[in-house]
Structure 1
Amino acid sequence: MINEALRTILPAAGWGDEKARAVEITGGADPILPTPFRIGETSAAALAAVGLAVADLWALRTGRGQEIAVDTRQATASLRSGHYLKMDGADVSTERNTVMGVYPAKNGRWSYLHCNFPNHRAAALSVLGVPEDREAVRQAVAKWDALELEEAIIAAKGAGGMVRTMDEWAKHPQAAAIASLPLMEIVKIGESAPQKLPDGGRPLSGIRVLDLTRVLAGPTCARTLAEHGADVLKITGKHLPNIGYQEYDTGHGKLSAHLDLREPTDVEILRGLVRATDVFSQGYRPGTLGGRGFSPESLAKLRPGIVFVSLCAFGHVGPWASRRGFDTVVQTVSGITSRQGELFPG
């Protein structure tokens, strides 16, 4: 049975409702997790859409069709896969930094501080003028106007935000800027001759992917490609911090290499890798890699036919397009955190 979340994805991918006839979604209905949001239906729809795309590619390779089955409860569990990870038979810590979280600010408002990475933590603590102590942070945030603190932390190159309601977010200039955008966009960035799929026994066999993403959304994207046979090379740097369990969980099926794009030699190494790749996936803020010579247009000239995948927190247009953000920051400013807190305080 087609669910409503999948129905919204189909046109974005250029498919009609008939495409969903090959999909069977089972396993119950929301709520599966303690949330007012339809997490189960949405996760099942996303995985079903991946299955449809992979089945299309497999049909192009082999002429054989496939049916897709998704269990909603299992799809929901997949969103927390890092929490079920074991290494050498032992649980892997999923603890976050102790000062990261939501704090009461002035006038009954709340502020969220994203402090998992040392540089963002240092920015927040510098603005607040306190040591790395949760009680000291709580007392300091209570003296701030939440909106002023949001802007001060962003100006200090940190990450965080004021907790907004959904109605407040709907009136925000950034929400207005992206309101009419589709779920995803496919934009032609250059000309190239058609290329035959490499030989192989899996849908993405022989497809080479460079993964320049961090944390969760982008790494999960590249891991999904690896799951279906792509050769994925994750590019990170020794100077870039990571969240251990997420790094491990999204690293399945990938090779990895360290490059420092502040160094001209490493920039040239990456350019060489681009020439031999098919997909370049990046999750930095719009313009960040472009400033180092790795914009979509530059890569299309360097490697005609390349697929440039770009993911970012707030979209590629609007006043917040270049603002630092992570999943939890987006939830905070867009009303998700507020709505969750209304029904499940604490």
Structure 2
Amino acid sequence: MATSEEVLAGLWQLAGLPAEALAFARLTGADPVLPSSFAVGLAAQASIAAAALAACELGHRRGVARQEVAVDTLHAALDCTGWFSLDGRVPELWDTFSGMYRCVDGWVRIHANFKHHREGALRLMQLDPATATRADAEAAMAGWRARDFEDAAAAQGLVATALRRFDEWDASPQGQAVAAQPLFTIERIGEAPPRALPPLREHQRPLEGLRVLDLTRILAGPVGGRALAAYGADVMLVNSPNLPNIESIADTSRGKLSTHVDLCTGEGRAVLRGLAADAHVFVQGYRPGGIAALGFGPEALARERPGIVCVSLTAYGTQGPWAGRRGFDSLVQTAMGFNHAEGEAAGDGKPRPMPMQILDEASGYLIALGAAAALWRQQQEGGSWHVQVSLAQTGQWLRGLGRVPGGLSIARAGVEPYVETSASGFGELAALRHGAQLSRTPAAWPRPSMPPGSHPPVWPAVAGG
């Protein structure tokens, strides 16, 4: 298994950042830290360290000294569990109908956390959503072939995947497409001069004065935006007033402005264009092609705001027959073979999830890494830039980090030493401190987490204000 320093160096090289900055990383600890046969701690540590170090390197490009970035494996892994509580209550984040179902010839995982996904899946099973129970769903799924249900669900825009082994995923057209792609890409998509950034002082966090639009909803994208906010950026979370959210928004909105913009209206699109005109980074996790259809694809943004950095998040990447499919971390784990492999390692053969949504979490930190690296390149050589990250490519990278013998035998560590409490618009929020320790300008979220629509769609008059 590669060392944490080697894994970080690989991410750093792919991001195109100066090798001398790696001397400022301090990485401690090693897997296993949470019960898994995969190097989930290493993935968490390396992705968090890369994001924080890239932000600091951009700060250095803006004229301040480099600073040390320390990341411990256990702290990083717990940070990536997404644990939080509100007024002492730890929310139940999974719907009754979400999870694994046994089929005629295998297993299917269904994601039913959103009402329209849950009702669609139940109707596909020929059940009444108003009266069906979990037992009804299990009985119905027992009559399906796993991949038939997967295909039928995808055809209706639902989210369900059949369980595969690694060799089955590798032999599939989508598995081959993912394996042929790099972990993430940073591509120049337009011409622009280097954009002048606000001056930075030694006591300021490295991204202060930068403006980030965060058009993401579930976990990976919001984690990326939260990281950029921790390093000082003004991050504005843009939600639709017509769409539901999950309770994790209380945790992932720390440090952000949170506004409503209805992109189904001309007025809403005009508001977003105005915000984008002053943004440095535009992050979106719409289904493939969705944001472009509204006029905010990377090429359109680069024409309207030369020098912008666009970041696109997908489930399965941009290549292969599943490029247009919706997906969530739990489903990608199932499709790619991780749940089967964890079950084999446990010895009982029952499909087993990894101990956290590590594909989401690591992808979120890769979003932050890619955004900071692209901004650094913009300062070096100008241009507009497009960063692309996908859960499946993150999964391919995690698999390449190797297995952890005996990793499932370790007890799950408590989060208590790493918890901080703050007031929020959702109640008293207890959540994990950021996993990277910056020696001169600690990561922080001075803005409290607030519900969607709490702020007007206007940038602060003074950066960081």
Q: Same fold (TM over 0.5)?
A: yes
TM-score by length of 1: 0.94
The Cα of 1:275 is off from its aligned counterpart by 1.1
Does the CA contact (< 8 Å) of 1:6 and 1:42 recur in 2? no
Partner of 1:198: 198
Does the CA contact (< 8 Å) of 1:2 and 1:24 recur in 2? no
Structure 1, residues 259-317: CA drift from partner, whole Å, max 9, x if none?
Answer: 22212221111112111211100011221111111111111111111110111110012
- Distance in 2 of aligned mates of 1:50 and 1:125: 40
From 266, 270, 275, give the equivalent of 1:264.
266
State the AA in 1 paired with 2:73: T
The Cα of 1:154 is off from its aligned counterpart by 1.1
The Cα of 1:243 is off from its aligned counterpart by 1.1
Partner of 1:129: 126
State the AA in 1 paired with 2:98: M
- Greater than 6 Å deviation, 4+ residue runs: none
Instruction: Tell me: higher relative CO, structure 1 or 2? Use CA pairs within 8 A at least 6 residues apart.
Output: 2
**Is 1:21 the counterpart of 2:23 in the alignment?**
yes
Does the CA contact (< 8 Å) of 1:2 and 1:23 recur in 2? no
- Distance in 1 of aligned mates of 2:17 and 2:240: 39
The Cα of 1:87 is off from its aligned counterpart by 2.9
- Distance in 2 of aligned mates of 1:77 and 1:60: 31
State the AA in 2 paired with 1:114: H
The Cα of 1:57 is off from its aligned counterpart by 1.5
Partner of 1:5: 7
- Distance in 1 of aligned mates of 2:253 and 2:335: 29
- Distance in 1 of aligned mates of 2:307 and 2:345: 48
The Cα of 1:238 is off from its aligned counterpart by 2.2
- Distance in 1 of aligned mates of 2:159 and 2:238: 23
**Is 1:242 the counterpart of 2:240 in the alignment?**
no
The Cα of 1:55 is off from its aligned counterpart by 2.2
Identity, in percent, stands at: 42
From 214, 217, 224, give the equivalent of 1:221.
224
Partner of 2:37: 36
The Cα of 1:60 is off from its aligned counterpart by 1.8
Partner of 1:56: 57
- Distance in 2 of aligned mates of 1:110 and 1:75: 31
Partner of 2:441: none
Partner of 2:453: none
The Cα of 1:2 is off from its aligned counterpart by 4.2
The Cα of 1:18 is off from its aligned counterpart by 5.6
Q: Which runs of 5+ in 2 are unaligned?
A: 353-465
**Is 1:93 the counterpart of 2:91 in the alignment?**
yes
Partner of 1:117: 114
SS of alignment partner, residue 311 of structure 1? strand
The Cα of 1:116 is off from its aligned counterpart by 0.4
The Cα of 1:16 is off from its aligned counterpart by 7.2
Does the CA contact (< 8 Å) of 1:227 and 1:253 recur in 2? yes
SS of alignment partner, residue 37 of structure 1? coil
Bigger drift between 158-167 and 3-12 goes to 3-12
- Distance in 2 of aligned mates of 1:137 and 1:5: 43
The Cα of 1:117 is off from its aligned counterpart by 0.7
SS of alignment partner, residue 189 of structure 1? strand
Does the CA contact (< 8 Å) of 1:3 and 1:41 recur in 2? no
Query: Cα RMSD between the aligned structures?
Result: 1.6
Does the CA contact (< 8 Å) of 2:52 and 2:231 recur in 1? no
Does the CA contact (< 8 Å) of 2:103 and 2:143 recur in 1? yes
- Distance in 1 of aligned mates of 2:78 and 2:283: 25
Q: 1:21 to 1:199 in 2, by over 3 A?
A: closer
Partner of 2:178: 178
Total equivalences in the alignment: 340
Partner of 1:286: 288
State the AA in 1 paired with 2:209: G
Structure 1, residues 203-262: CA drift from partner, whole Å, max 9, x if none?
Answer: 111111110001100011111111111111111112211111x11111001111112221
The Cα of 1:11 is off from its aligned counterpart by 2.1
Bigger drift between 173-182 and 215-224 goes to 173-182
Does the CA contact (< 8 Å) of 2:85 and 2:91 recur in 1? no
The Cα of 1:78 is off from its aligned counterpart by 0.3
Does the CA contact (< 8 Å) of 1:285 and 1:321 recur in 2? no
Partner of 1:274: 276
Bigger drift between 291-300 and 14-23 goes to 14-23
SS of alignment partner, residue 214 of structure 2? strand
Does the CA contact (< 8 Å) of 1:163 and 1:333 recur in 2? yes
Q: 1:2 to 1:153 in 2, by over 3 A?
A: closer
